[in-house]
Amino acid sequence: MQITGSIPALVTPFRDGRVDEKAFEAFVDWQVSEGSAGLVPCGTTGESATLSIEEHDHVVGLTVKAARGRVPVIAGCGSNDTMVALHHMESAARAGADVALVVCPYYNKPGQRGLLAHFRYLADHGALPIILYNIPGRSGIDMATETMAELAEHPKIIGCKESTGDIERVSEIRQECGRDFLILSGNDYMTLGIIAHGGHGAISVTANVAPALNAAQVKACLDGDFATALALQDQLYPLHRALFTDASPGPTKHALSVLGKMGAETRLPVVAPSEASRAMVDAAMAHAGVAP
């Protein structure tokens, strides 16, 4: 199993407050046909924080079913409760997911020793390999590279989603964790730089809206064709920015509603993006050449 390339952090479509299964299955099929190299259900962009445990597990199962073995499924399994994270890992494994993406426990601020204990417990007791998700801006705790290096010694902890916004961190991780330790960009605007520094791909928000272009850019980066990658960066950068001009994934769902892929419904406390945000998304889609 190879984890590389452009991997969308899938949105979860809703209709009248419930998961829109039909739209989601069609959306997954479109993502694969457009060149996405993997799928991440129930991450931050999938509104995992407002999915019930039952819904969370169901969406992972829907993703595996819709993927039909064509690409790996990296199931979002994070929680600020270690036992809930373990439950998600066990459920994802039963559903047929390939890997668990596990965010640093948010709100609790467990410290480095707590991070070690949390992830070691999950690696020891869970059935899936783990990709660490370090996003201090959301979790409130930054996993130190030294801590990640200790965790990388565990055979079931195979990589990280790097979302600190610090490009130097990529080289630190390569030095401390080894060159076989997966590093996936968690910030679309930094993917070109992260791969140039030794990353292996991206878990992407923009890939929801422009999967073919995003896949082409990541492939160009991985192939060392940085002239093409830079041209695609120029094409996609306004979209990278626009999708975060209001609370995520509101702008992304607006873009997908414009494309006719699903409705724009979100769950509270995320509300519909502002008029200014929608206008920026529309302009960025036109700039990227993905407007209908």
Cβ-count burial 117-127 (b if 16+ within 10 Å, e if not): ebbbebbeebe
What are 59-69's pLDDT values in tens digits?
999 999 999 99
Specify the pLDDT at position 217.
98
* Distance (Å) of CA 153 to CA 4, 74, 99, 123, 252: 21, 21, 17, 11, 37
Specify the pLDDT at position 135.
96
Task: Find the angle CA(201)-CA(102)-CA(38) to the nearest 5 degrees.
Answer: 35
Q: pLDDT band for position 161 (50/70/90)?
A: very high
- 72/79 Cα distance (integer angstroms): 22
Specify the pLDDT at position 1.
72
Specify the pLDDT at position 54.
97
- 107/195 Cα distance (integer angstroms): 30
pLDDT at 226 over 90: yes
Specify the pLDDT at position 47.
98
161 is catalytic: yes
Beta strands 182-185 and 201-204: pairing type?
parallel
What number is the average pLDDT over the span 170-198? 97
Identify whether the C-beta of residue 263 lies closer than 8 Å to the C-beta of residue 15. Answer: yes
pTM above 0.95, yes or no: yes
Q: Is residue 241 part of a domain?
A: no
CATH code of 99's domain: 3.20.20.70
Q: Is residue 13 part of a domain?
A: yes
What are 35-90's pLDDT values in tens digits?
999 999 999 999 999 999 999 999 999 999 999 999 999 999 999 999 999 999 99
CA 27 and chain centroid, separation: 16
Q: How many domains does the chain have?
A: 1
Q: Is residue 153 part of a domain?
A: yes
Please give the single-letter amino acid code of residue 149: A
CA 137 and chain centroid, separation: 15
Q: Is residue 248 part of a domain?
A: no
Range of the domain at 42: 5-223
Q: Is residue 117 part of a domain?
A: yes
Q: Is residue 285 part of a domain?
A: no
Percent helix, strand and coil across the chain, each to the nearest 5: 50, 15, 35
Q: Is residue 203 part of a domain?
A: yes
133 is catalytic: yes
Specify the pLDDT at position 141.
95
pLDDT over 70, % of the chain: 100
pLDDT at 292 over 90: no
pLDDT at 193 over 80: yes
Identify whether the C-beta of residue 83 lies closer than 8 Å to the C-beta of residue 121. Answer: no
Q: Is residue 263 part of a domain?
A: no
Q: Phi, psi at residue 102, to the nearest 5°?
A: -125, 115
What are 109-127's pLDDT values in tens digits?
999 999 999 999 999 999 9
Q: Which of 106, 133, 219, 261 is catalytic?
A: 133
Q: Which of 161, 219, 253, 261 is catalytic?
A: 161
